Structure 1
Amino acid sequence: MKQAQGAADNPSQPTPINRVQENLLARSERRILNWLCARFPAWVTPDMLTGVGMVGAFMVFAGYASSNFGDGWLWLTMAGYFVQWLGDSTDGSLARFRQIERPRYGYFLDHSCDGLATTLVVVGIGMTPYVAMEFALVALTGYLLLSIHAFLSVRVLGELKLSYLNAGPTELRFILLAFTIMMMVAGPDAPRWETPFGSINGFDIFTGGVGLILIVLFVLQTMVTSRRLAVMEPPRNGEWRQP
């Protein structure tokens, strides 16, 4: 759902944003998205596709939450990931394909929906019988911290980083699909281990581990960006004058 291309202080002249996207599937996905955009009927709009993406996020949440009543509900989650990808990936692509971008509006709506969608997905994972909510919240914290870094980078560098470690939203969806399939294979009675923090299983370790990796990435990216800004804006040694 990357409708946004710019954000600006000047309401009449949005500052272009350099989109940094280095994920493994970027080129293949771009060909698919261009193919889809060329075939969407005229009545399909970017805002409509944004809504489709949010419907998919609620499907993912509902499937995870309902998995307490049976593993079969996880099929709803997997269908939701596809629906969410369809809306999330094509709304901005369609706007650019038709050259009808609305940079400030798209940027705001896009990232607002991204935040809500990710919260629904991660909290949904924490509501399953497979993952403790505490570990899910660690993953959500990592995501939100990286989001903050991305938004700050847009303001201070004019860059929007869309991937980390050669992985972006699409690669993450494939990982989550595999994670969900493993839930169905292992079942809620997967082996557990007693620790000083309580009983945990492999799903808890994976979810918490991903969260910790995201937090570490946030710290590293903050250090890298700070160094870049320090070079761009060296300390001022001019004489201080009392106002």
Structure 2
Amino acid sequence: MSSNPPPAATTVRIQQNILARGERRLLNWICPRLPGWVTPDQLTTLGFLGAVMVAMGYMLSWLGPAWLSLSIAGYVVHWFGDSLDGSLARWRRIERPSYGYFVDHSVDGLAIFLMVGSIGLSPYMRFDVALIAVIGYLLLAIHSFLAAKVVGEFRLSYMAGGPTELRLMLIAMTASMPIIGGADVNGTNFSPFDLFGLVVSSILVTLFVTQSFATARSLAHRRD
């Protein structure tokens, strides 16, 4: 869910999600107001702690739906840390492109597993469905990493959606869980959230396949 581009100077960031401009203005407003002792690494750690909060909220929701508020708070904490770590480094001109790219995306992979995978440990979604969603997201992330290497384009959004839109979707889904409930739909053994997760997963996998074919077709005309 991070926006740190690969270290190559020729790599172009492509970010066309709906909230990108507004979010960038907000991050640029926050960066100069952060205390000097706050570092990008601390923000990366804070973002990961937000992912842990999300996971704990889902797992504890077996005790009562009020625990889902911990997940919602965790998404906000994760956004703050994950969105600001690279932004702060660029604002202070203390970037370490190779280090930041490697650490940030490594932490992101584990954070996605914790946040999305843990939905399957709540009363509202099956664990296998949640893992399929994790796989779909990571497949699309792999495509972004590969495309950054071979065509010099690091895509941060697909279908006008990016990390922030994904978080908002997950927050809205989490807030609706106590209202909709986790009961099966017409004896299908799938809850409404299972069906929603399968639809989202299919979209992610389809995007991975279509984007991969498009990139491969473009590369087929090159000599390298």
TM-score range, shorter chain: over 0.9
Q: In structure 2, how many angstroms separate the alpha carbons of the residues matched to 1:99 and 1:28?
A: 22
Match for residue 223 of structure 1? 213
Matched, 1:89 2:83: yes
The RMSD of aligned alpha carbons is 1.4
Select 1:112's aligned residue among 71, 89, 106: 106
Offset at residue 206 of structure 1 (A): 0.1
Report the CA distance between 1:144 and its aligned residue: 1.4
Deviation at 1:209, TM superposition (A): 1.0
1:43 to 21, 31, 37: 37
Whether the 8 Å contact between 1:3 and 1:106 is mirrored in structure 2 is no
Structure 2 residue aligned with 1:206: 196
Return the index of the structure with the highest Cα Rg. 1
- Give the alignment's TM-score, normalised by structure 1: 0.88
Structure 1 runs not aligned, ≥5 long: 8-13, 235-243
Identity %: 52
- Displacement of 1:191 in angstroms is 5.1
Which among 103, 106, 109 is matched to residue 97 of structure 2? Answer: 103
Offset at residue 212 of structure 1 (A): 0.9
Deviations 1:85-136 (A, max 9, x none): 0000000000111111100000001100110100001111000111011211
Q: Secondary structure at the match of 2:61?
A: helix
* TM superposition shift of 1:2: 4.2
CA distance in 1, matches of 2:29, 2:9: 29
Q: Secondary structure at the match of 2:187?
A: strand
Give the letter for the 1:194 counterpart.
Answer: G
Match of 1:181 among 150, 175, 182: 175
Aligned to 1:25: 19
Q: Assess if the C-alpha contact under 8 Å between 2:3 and 2:156 holds in 1.
A: no
Report whether the alignment pairs 1:168 with 2:162. Answer: yes
Cα distance change of structure 1 residues 42 and 60 upon mapping to structure 2, 3 Å threshold: same
C-alpha displacement of 1:231? 2.2
* 1:194 matched residue in structure 2: 187
TM-score (normalizing by structure 2):
0.96
Q: Which position in structure 2 is the counterpart of 1:152?
A: 146
Q: Which runs of 5+ in 2 are unaligned?
A: none
